[in-house]
Amino acid sequence: MSTTEELIEEYKKKRAKIEQMASPEQIEKRHKGGQWTARERIDYFFDKGTFTEIGLFVKHRTVHFGMAGREVPAEGVVTGYGLVNGRPVVAFAEDYMAMAGTFGEYHGLKEIRAINFAKEMGWPVIGMNDSGGARLQEGMDTLEIYGVLFRTQIQASGIVPQIALLMGPCLGGQAYHPIMQDFLIQCRDTGFMGIAGPAFVKTQLGQEISLEELSGWKAHAVKSGQTHIVVKDDKEALDKTKEMLSFFPSNNREMPPTIECKDDPERTSPELNNIIPDRPTQPYDMFKVINAIVDDGYFFETLKEHSRSVITGFARFNGRPVGIWANQPMWRAGIIDCDAADKGARFVRFCDLFNIPVVTLGDCPGYMIGPEEDWKGILRHGAKMLFAWADASIPLISIIVRKSYAGAHYGMLDKGIGADLVFAWPTARVTIVGAETAASVIFAREIRDAENPEEMRNQRIKEYSDIYENPYCGAERGYIDEIIMPSDTRKVINRALDILQDKNKDNKAFNARPWRKYSNINL
């Protein structure tokens, strides 16, 4: 029989062998390629000395195709929990240096265990993706465990925040995993994601394409809208994750954390009184409005590169986390098209799931019209925004900055769709359509038959604009709660958040709604 000392020594050797991961030469090669090892990522992410690993000694059970007796340290994924900036978080980091981090049955079971543990404890879960894909040697066991993983993370969705970090390759069915998490952060040079890699595309479709073009950051941060944040390397990815977590509660039963704020909540911003151009078609930068009203001018943008006519992101008002949904007149006049609607709807629903109030800054001429958008399903996609607002139970505050026409009036949050408070600047133009469009319909015959059609057209446009293109008609009917000076916007928002902070205390408002599983949102 072994002595206690011998057993402990054996344990130390086993543990050290697994934790070694790879040879110094292999690790150095990885560093030169701009990547850290899985354990280096974990060490940097968690507060020093707080990480507890789970499943270090887990092993696969495959015997076919050279797998009998083959050791894969920690089954190619490091899982565990610890503190991040003093708050508990669960994470898993795939280890590309252990059989390319391939996903097999027990690799998947470790990730499933981590997600279930996070859900049970009410802690956020972070996935660091860096894998060569499915472990084909395990056949059906690999295939089936994917489904269990997807079901597990979907069941945790809306209970705890989930953030995916794309730090290496993530191709094939495995790519559904990061996509279904709440936010995705992609390393610019090393993160790749796709339903199939270039080799599969060539085999199945006969199309030649590079990995970077097919699955790189431009493919997903710009085109597909699946990557929320692009970073230069592992360090920035982990720093951005910590930054993002600071806005979120640990779970859906908690309120987001408020921090100390030294920026006066009653502060005015005189520069906003002159930011709107005299011509309604002239653009201005909505980021200047955002930076002027949020705490210390600090705004954490998401999906920056995708659908740039709208802006989503997080900021604070008097230390309170708030989601911001805004138009960007500098880009396609701030229009809402199919992609913009998707971008906004998912953002609002995330905020609602985790008790984060939303403030809108509206300047939108409408939903995008024309055959291309109609055929892409602008009505279906646009309706997602309406579902998001009508379902939301969080504090909702609307600031109408300039244009608020047609369907965009609801898409950017109006009283009818669910806003708690609606404020408008004197520059607001709130009506069913713009004056020029209205005149071309209402007065078409009169203009055509007039002695001077152009003069009559201009007269009717001015008449319609004077009557309807202003914030006062809406205020007279109570659709707009107050018309405010632009300089007072920060003060007004902070006061609104003060009175709405207990909007759903004990979920009274939510529980007053008729029972249902969920709304049948257009997808």
At 38, which amino acid appears?
A: A
Question: How far apart (Å, rounded) are the C-alpha atoms in residues 462 and 436?
Answer: 9
* Active-site residue (options: 82, 101, 132, 172): 172
The Cα 57–Cα 349 span in angstroms is 39
The half-sphere exposure of 204 on its side-chain side, counting CA atoms within 13 A, is 7
Beta bridge pairs of residue 367: 336
Distance CA 49, CA 45 (A): 11
Helices (H), 277-337: 286-293
Distances (CA, A) of 501 to 242, 269, 320, 497: 25, 24, 10, 6
Q: Which of 158, 173, 197, 225 is catalytic?
A: 173
Length of the chain: 523
- Please indicate whether residue 408 is annotated as part of the active site: yes
Find the catalytic residue in 407, 411, 418, 474. Answer: 407
Is 173 a residue of the active site?
Answer: yes
CA pair distance 447, 430, nearest whole angstrom: 24
Q: What beta strand segments (E) does 175-328 contain?
A: 183-187, 192-194, 229-231, 299-302, 310-317, 320-327
Q: What secondary structure does DSSP assign to 390-410, as a single string?
A: HH--S-EEEEEEEEEETTHHH
In 66-196, which residue ranges form alpha helices assigned H by DSSP?
105-121, 140-156, 176-179
Distance CA 224, CA 342 (A): 11
**Choice among 388, 408, 419, 496 that is catalytic:** 408
Angstrom distance (rounded) from CA 109 to CA 95? 15
Q: From the DSSP assignment, how many helices (H) and strands (E) are in the chain?
A: 21, 17
SS3 51: coil
What are the catalytic residues?
172-173, 407-408
